[in-house]
Amino acid sequence: MDLERWLIESVAHHRQWEAGFASFERHPSLEISDETFANAFGEFTKRLEGNYPYFHPHYVGQMLKPPHPAATVGYLAAMLINPNNHSADGGPATTEMEIEAVDKLAEMFGLRAHLGHLTSSGTAANLEALYVARQSHPGKGVAYSEDAHYTHERMCGVLGMAGYPVRTDGYGRIDLNAVADLADSGVIGSLVLTAGSTGLGAVDRIDEAIELKRRFGLRLHVDAAYGGFFSILAGERAGQARQLIDPTPWLAIKECDSIVVDPHKHGLQPYGCGAVLFTDPDVARFYLHDSPYTYYTPSEHHLGEISLECSRGGASAAALWLTLRLLPPTPEGLGAPLAAGLRATRKLAAALDDSSAFAVYQRPELDILAFYPRAPGSLTGIDRASGAVLEAGMSAADTPVFLSVLRVSAGEFGRRHPGIDADADGARLLRSVVMKPEVESEVGTIRRRLEELCGRWRDHIDQG
C-alpha cells in the first residue's frame, strides 16, 4: 500500500466528513501560517534524525520498529477526530472497534468468554491484572520469575502486595518447584507466568503451572506483553511454522485467569497500545465505580467501567482494528512475519555459533538472541568485548549494525557455560531482538559485519 496516498485520502475523507456539518469560523488564536510552520517543522524534523534506524533490518537491538502503514493510516484518520474510548459517547465508533479488536485477541489465545480492553501500555495492563489478583486474593502475595519484567515488582509495591521473585532454570524459565513451595507455605495467591521474557524471550511452562492452580487455587496471570502474538503459531493451523515453537505452553494460556499482550510490540502498532484480558467476565465487579460526568449515553459498552485508566485514545483502537482487518491473527496473516522473524533468529543463532568469534548464550525460544564474543575467556573480557562490539556496530560509517546488551549474573552465566572464568559478578552480553521479517534475508550480512567488528576489536587489543 502507498502510505502517501492513504494519508492524503485520510485527511480528504476527514474534511468531507466535517463538511457534512454546519460551517463555522476557525478561531484566529489557533491559526499558524505555513511559513511559520515550515520553520518549526524544519527544526523538528532535524531533531528526529537523532533516532536510530529502527526500520532497518540491520537494526536488531531493542524491541523497536515502525508501525505497519495500515496502522499509521488508521491512527491518523481516527486521531483527526480524536475520540476517547473512556466511554461510548466519547468514541462510539472506536469503542465498537476496540471491542472487536479485543475479541480477536481473545480468540487468538483460544478464550471463549472474556472481559478485556486496550490500555496505554503493557505496564498499565499488568497493573490491572495484579489489581484484580489483589482484589480476588486479598492479603496474599504474588510470585514471578527473576527474569520477569521489572514492572511486576514495581506494581506489587504500588498495590501494597508482597512480591516474590523466583529463580529461573537454565533456559530462563521460572522454577515451578520453588513456586509450589511458596504456595504451600500460604504466602502467595497469584503467580505471574511470562510468555516471552523481555531479556531472553524465554517462555515459562504455563502448561505445567496449570497444576499449581488446581492444587493451591493460585490465580494465574500470563504476561505475554512481548510474546503473546506467537500464540498464532501454536495452533494446528500453523502448519510448518508450528515447528518453530513449542506449542504446549501457548495452548495452556486459555486456562489461566488473565493475559497481557502488547499490540505495540508484535502487533505492528504505534506505542500506546497494550491489552489486558480476563477469562472470567465477572471480574468487572472489581472495577465498578460511578463517574457522573461522562456516562450520559445509555449503552452496554462503557469500557471506562472496566478500566483503571480514564482517557484512552480511540485512535489506538482504530489503528489496531484496521491492521487486524488486513493482517488478522492467523498463520497466514500476522503469523507470517512472526514466523519469518523466528526463522531469522534460528539462522542467526546457527551462523554465530558456527563462527569462531561468537557463542550463543542460550538456544533462542522466540526471536530474541543473546550471544557473546568467544575469545576473552573471562566474564570481564566478555563484558568489555560486548560493549566494544555494541559501540563499534552503531558508530560504523559503513554498514552499521545495531545491537543491544543484556546484563547477566555470574551464576546465570556459569550455569550455561561452566568453562568461563568468573572473575566478576556478571557481564554484559550482546542481545538481538529480531522483530522484522526482513532480517531473514540479511542474516549473512549481519554475521559478517559482527565478525569484522569483533576482529577489529581484537586487533585493537593485540596492538594495545
Ligand X SMILES: *Cc1c(COP(=O)(O)O)cnc(C)c1O
Choose between 114 and 149: whose C-beta lies nearer to ligand X. Answer: 149
Residue (151 or 168) nearer to ligand X, CB: 151
Binding segment (CB under 6 A) for ligand X, from list 46-54, 101-109, 122-130, 291-299: 122-130
Give 375's contacts (C-beta < 8 A, 6+ positions apart). 357, 381, 385, 454, 458
Pick the stretch among 223-231, 290-298, 316-324, 425-433 that binds ligand X (CB under 6 A): 223-231
Residues 326-385 that bind ligand X (CB under 6 A): none
Q: Could you say which of 10, 123, 279, 386 contacts ligand X (CB under 6 A)?
A: 123
CB neighbourhood size of 153 (10 A): 15
In the complex, the smallest distance separating the C-beta of residue 226 from ligand X, rounded to whole angstroms, is 3
Strands (E), 207-360: 219-223, 258-261, 274-278, 358-360
As measured in angstroms, the least distance from the Cβ of 62 to ligand X is: 10
CA atoms within 13 Å, Cβ hemisphere of 121: 5
What is the contact mask toward ligand X in residues 260 to 289, using x (rule: CB under 6 A)?
Answer: --x-----------x---------------
Q: For helices 3-19 and 69-79, give the axis angle rounded to 10 degrees.
A: 20
* Of 115 and 366, CB closest to ligand X: 366
In the complex, minimum distance from the CB of residue 106 to ligand X, in angstroms, rounded to a whole number: 19
Stretch that binds ligand X, among 221-229, 240-248, 392-400, 427-435 (CB under 6 A): 221-229
Separation of alpha carbons 464 and 450, rounded Å? 21
The reply on whether position 316 binds ligand X by CB under 6 A is no
**How far apart are CB 18 and ligand X at their closest, in Å?**
34
What gap in Å lies between CA 417 and CA 420, rounded to an integer? 6
Which range, of 50-58, 75-83, 219-227, 315-323, touches ligand X by CB under 6 A?
A: 219-227
- Any contact of residue 198 with ligand X (CB under 6 A)? yes
Asked if residue 191 lies in contact with residue 163, where contact means CB atoms within 8 angstroms, the answer is no
Set of cell numbers at residue 269: 502498532
- Please report, as a single letter, which amino acid is at residue 156: C
* Part of the chain binding ligand X (CB under 6 A), chosen from 77-85, 218-226, 346-354, 430-438: 218-226
**What's the closest the beta carbon of residue 238 comes to ligand X, in angstroms?**
22
Q: Which of 236, 176, 179, 165 is nearest to 409 (CA)?
A: 165
- The yes or no reply on residue 231 touching ligand X (CB under 6 A) is no
Minimum distance from residue 41 beta carbon to ligand X (Å)? 29
Write the DSSP symbol of residue 67.
P
| Backbone φ, ψ for residue 361 (5° rounding) | -70, -50
The 3-state DSSP class for residue 295 equals coil
Smallest distance from ligand X to CB 122, Å: 2
Please report how close the Cβ of residue 121 comes to ligand X at its closest, in angstroms.
Answer: 3
Amino acid at 444: G
151 binds ligand X (CB under 6 A): yes
223 binds ligand X (CB under 6 A): yes
Interface region with ligand X, contact rule CB under 6 A, candidates 52-60, 117-125, 131-139, 203-211: 117-125
Binding of ligand X at residue 230 (CB under 6 A)? no
**Cβ 339 to ligand X, closest distance in Å?**
20
Q: Which residue is nearest to ligand X (CB)?
A: 122
Binding ligand X (rule: CB under 6 A), the pick from 226, 321, 361, 402 is: 226
> Pairing mode, if any, of strands 368-373 and 404-409?
unpaired
What single DSSP character describes residue 168?
Answer: B
Query: Angle, to 10 degrees, between the axis of helix 443-463 and the axis of helix 379-395?
Result: 120
Query: Within 13 Å, how many C-alpha atoms sit on residue 100's CB side?
Result: 17
Counting contacts by CB under 6 A, is residue 121 touching ligand X? Answer: yes
Cα 220 to Cα 115, 144, 231, 452: the distances in Å are 16, 10, 17, 46
Alpha carbons 30 and 245: distance in angstroms, whole number: 54
Stretch near ligand X under the rule CB under 6 A, chosen from 21-29, 115-123, 183-191, 374-382: 115-123
The residue among 57 and 274 lying less far from ligand X, judged by its C-beta, is: 274
Count other C-beta atoms under 10 Å from residue 341's C-beta. Answer: 24
Residue closer to ligand X by CB (options 100, 153) is: 153
With vertex at residue 144, the alpha carbon angle to CA 139 and CA 148, rounded to the nearest 5 degrees, is 140
Q: Read out DSSP for 117-144?
A: EEES-HHHHHHHHHHHHHHHSTT-EEEE
Interacting residue with ligand X among 58, 86, 117, 149 (CB under 6 A): 149
Q: Are 255 and 210 in contact (CB under 8 A)?
A: yes
Stretch that binds ligand X, among 79-87, 120-128, 185-193, 281-289 (CB under 6 A): 120-128
Site string for ligand X, 155-194 (x = CB under 6 A): ---------------------------------------x
CA proximity to 73, closest of 329, 266, 330, 268: 268
**Where on the chain is the footprint of ligand X (CB under 6 A)?**
121-123, 126, 149, 151, 194, 198, 223, 225-226, 262, 274
